[in-house]
């Protein structure tokens, strides 16, 4: 029996029902990549084929299956078919296995979901040891129940090893494979893997691929695209899950604009005793993916020692998540070699350093305007326009069309900032040579990158050093026609890690999305 689960182009992708129900399968993809949709499609196909299964639902998002199919809903509240804590689960599951009925085991409202899932796993394993009838256990958010670090539900691990002979299959689903017990993942001979971008997660699924290049393909997948591999397919195939026949209840709620709240003209100040600490700055923050424990684990691999044997490695003394302010900027200017036209540049700036950043499955840092911060418009124009061979004052005046007094003042400012140096040439001519460590990017070369999932900022962020005024000064120095037409502050999660050794301290910054080390200073 084949289950039609998706398409690769115009070709239908089917999987063997026997392998799905009695085998070991992992479904892996990061948030928003379509994992829950794919699980629901598989459940619909199993329901249409009258194949029994039990799905552990941690968010209460699969109840829409009951809109079209006959199944048993075990959960909390009056709307459930059977209530956790008030029903004989063993009896319900016995009847479900014998009658090939599907069960949704909803623990979203349970007081202790791990305890309820542990009881369920014990019951299923015991029943199937006697009944030996094909039945599938689907574990959503498997990292909650069989974590790599922490207490794992041993009976689920035993099902992964010994369930097949009893007819009891296992399907584990997770957004974070690096957090799932490796001995369970290694038992999965079938895989359905979608988009992943965190380095630790890519490493965790590398055992299913023959090369690093294949693993890196996962970061390039679009939402909804999955690789089907192992026992489910004769060869690795990329596909998209088919449409659902029931409504998707796991979709992210959409924000609907509401009428503005009237604000009094002169609001009264709160009583003095009610005044507390300043609230976090208003704005949206990129949703962090990397947990603190993972950041510290990555940091352990970055400890150094000057001599391999004669002294101990560095020690990690602290590691905390902080939010860096980023400025999302939109600029209009006149550009073009022959005919000047209005052009637009959109980019993101790290407001702590002035570096340009691109948001694309994490943060990429590029040279920006950090060395130009604090300069006036004329100084920016001069240092950005100096040729590598340098220019004399007279040549600077000719190139920039600035008055002599302005040029003299700007050159002095640049010399004090150590951004230029004097070089004497033939005769008495003095040439000023730029000392910028990085080339200043042109507006035409800037790009914003992808938008990442956001949530309201709930923590106090780092202080921004780049203001709209200082940024406008730099842009005007680079391009006199430039005008800022859009400016928004967003906040990006990073981990600041401090190491200590006999020779002092040092620090690094880890990306809170990808886990990669960033070329940024700590706060």
CATH code of residue 64: 3.40.50.300
Residue 259 above 50 pLDDT? yes
| Pairing mode, strands 168-174 and 135-139 | parallel
Whether 191 is covered by a domain: the verdict is yes
Given 188, 210, 241, the domain boundary residue is 241
Whether 68 is covered by a domain: the verdict is yes
219 & 338 share domain: no
User: Helices 377-385 and 393-400 sit at what angle, rounded to 10 degrees?
Assistant: 110
Whether 260 is covered by a domain: the verdict is no
Average of pLDDT values for 193-214? 88
445 & 328 share domain: yes
pLDDT band at 277 (very low <50, low <70, confident <90, very high): very low
Query: What tens digit of pLDDT does each residue of 430-445 get?
Result: 889 999 888 888 887 7
Is 373:470 a contact under the CB 8 Å cutoff?
Answer: yes
Residue 426 above 80 pLDDT? no
* Structural domain span for residue 41: 2-241
| Pairing mode, strands 24-28 and 190-193 | parallel
CATH number at residue 397: 1.10.10.10
382 & 485 share domain: no
Q: Sign of the CA dihedral 323, 325, 330, 334?
A: negative
User: How many structural domains compose the chain?
Assistant: 3
111 & 177 share domain: yes
363 & 473 share domain: yes
pLDDT at position 305: 67
365 & 479 share domain: yes
504 & 394 share domain: no
Query: What tens digit of pLDDT does each residue of 141-156 get?
Result: 999 999 988 889 999 9
Residue 494 above 90 pLDDT? yes
Q: Does the model's pTM come out above 0.85?
A: no
Give the integer Cα–Cα distance in Å for 321 and 494.
Answer: 6
Residue 282 above 90 pLDDT? no
Query: What tens digit of pLDDT does each residue of 2-36 get?
Result: 999 999 988 999 999 999 999 999 999 988 888 99
Given 434, 457, 475, the domain boundary residue is 434
237 & 382 share domain: no
Whether 130 is covered by a domain: the verdict is yes
399 & 353 share domain: no
User: Helices 404-416 and 377-385 sit at what angle, rounded to 10 degrees?
Assistant: 80
Whether 201 is covered by a domain: the verdict is yes
Give the integer Cα–Cα distance in Å for 138 and 55.
Answer: 5
pLDDT at position 275: 43
Whether 269 is covered by a domain: the verdict is no
Share of the chain above pLDDT 70, in %: 91
Whether 257 is covered by a domain: the verdict is no
467 & 387 share domain: no
428 & 444 share domain: no
Whether 277 is covered by a domain: the verdict is no
56 & 141 share domain: yes
Average pLDDT value over all residues in the chain: 87
């Amino acid at each position: 029996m084949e289950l039609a689960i998706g398409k690769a182009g115009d070709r239908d992708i089917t999987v063997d029902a026997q392998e799905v129900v009695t085998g070991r399968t992992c479904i892996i993809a990061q948030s928003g990549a379509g994992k829950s949709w794919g699980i629901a499609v598989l459940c619909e196909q199993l329901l249409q084929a009258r194949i029994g299964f039990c799905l552990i639902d941690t968010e209460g998002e699969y109840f829409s299956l009951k809109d079209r199919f006959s199944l048993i809903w075990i959960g909390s509240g009056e709307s459930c078919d059977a209530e956790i804590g008030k029903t004989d689960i063993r009896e319900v599951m016995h009847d479900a296995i014998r009658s090939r009925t599907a069960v949704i085991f909803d623990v979203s409202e349970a007081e202790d979901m791990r305890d309820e899932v542990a009881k369920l796993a014990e019951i299923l394993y015991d029943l199937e040891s006697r009944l030996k009838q094909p039945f599938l256990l689907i574990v959503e958010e498997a990292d909650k129940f069989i974590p790599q670090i922490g207490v794992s539900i041993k009976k689920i691990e035993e099902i992964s090893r010994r369930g097949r002979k009893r007819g009891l299959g296992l399907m584990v689903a997770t957004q974070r494979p690096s957090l799932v017990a490796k001995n369970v993942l290694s038992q999965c001979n079938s895989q359905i893997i979608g988009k992943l971008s965190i380095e630790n997660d890519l490493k965790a699924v590398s055992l299913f691929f023959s090369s690093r290049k294949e693993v890196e393909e996962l970061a390039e997948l679009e939402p909804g695209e999955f690789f089907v591999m192992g026992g489910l397919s004769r060869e690795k195939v990329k596909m998209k899950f088919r449409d659902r026949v029931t409504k998707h209840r796991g979709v992210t709620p959409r924000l609907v604009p509401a009428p503005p709240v009237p604000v009094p003209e002169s609001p009264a100040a709160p009583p003095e005793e009610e005044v507390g600490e300043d609230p976090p700055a208003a704005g949206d923050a990129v949703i962090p993916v990397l947990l603190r424990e993972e950041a510290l684990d990555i940091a352990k691999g970055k400890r150094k020692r000057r001599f391999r044997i004669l002294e101990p490695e560095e020690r990690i003394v602290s590691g905390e998540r902080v939010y860096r302010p980023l400025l999302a900027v939109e600029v209009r200017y006149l550009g073009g070699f022959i005919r000047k036209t209005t052009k637009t540049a959109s980019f993101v700036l790290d407001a702590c350093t002035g570096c340009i950043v691109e948001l694309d499955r994490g943060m990429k840092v590029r040279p920006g305007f950090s060395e130009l911060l604090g300069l006036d418009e004329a100084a920016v124009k001069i240092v950005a326009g100096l040729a590598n061979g340098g220019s004399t004052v007279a040549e600077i005046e000719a190139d920039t069309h600035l008055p002599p007094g302005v040029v003299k003042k700007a050159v002095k400012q640049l010399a004090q900032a150590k951004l230029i140096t004097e070089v004497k040439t033939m005769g008495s001519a003095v040439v000023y040579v730029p000392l910028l460590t990085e080339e200043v990017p042109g507006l035409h070369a800037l790009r914003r990158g992808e938008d990442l999932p956001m949530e309201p900022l709930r923590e106090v962020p780092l202080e921004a050093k780049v203001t709209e005024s200082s940024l406008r000064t730099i842009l005007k120095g680079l391009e006199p026609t430039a005008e800022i037409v859009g400016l928004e502050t967003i906040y990006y999660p990073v981990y600041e890690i401090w190491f200590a050794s006999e020779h002092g301290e040092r620090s690094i910054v880890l990306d809170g999305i990808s886990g990669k080390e960033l070329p940024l200073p700590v706060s």
